[in-house]
Amino acid sequence: MILARVDGNITSTVCHPTLRGWRLLILQGIDEQGREKGDPVIAIDEHGAGFGDRVFYTTDGSSTREHVGNEHSPLRNMVMGIID
């Protein structure tokens, strides 16, 4: 699990079929003090995280693909929860 801040969302008119119906967020990795760490990533979200929220996410592509029900999906990152 990786700690991150939500920096935005992505809207697409054309996407891979396994992305349809999922919210896509731009996540910036952060450390425990809130300092940026690494490059931003894109992740699916079913929890309703909003701009500026702190979340934790996984980069385990196999569990993300299992979650969406398609082993051939290009998805890798998935928000696991919102931090209060």
CATH number for position 51? 2.40.50.220
Query: Are 44 and 58 within 8 A, CB to CB?
Result: no
Residue-wise DSSP of 39-82: --EEEEESS---TT-EEEEE--HHHHHHHHT-TT-----EEEEE
pLDDT of residue 27: 98
What is the count of structural domains for the chain? 1
Mean pLDDT on 4-9: 97
Q: Is the pLDDT of residue 8 over 90?
A: yes
Residue 12 has pLDDT above 90, yes or no: no
30-69 tens-digit pLDDT? 999 999 999 999 999 999 999 999 999 999 999 999 999 9
pLDDT score of 21 more than 90: no
Residue 77, domain extent: 2-83
pTM (two decimals): 0.90
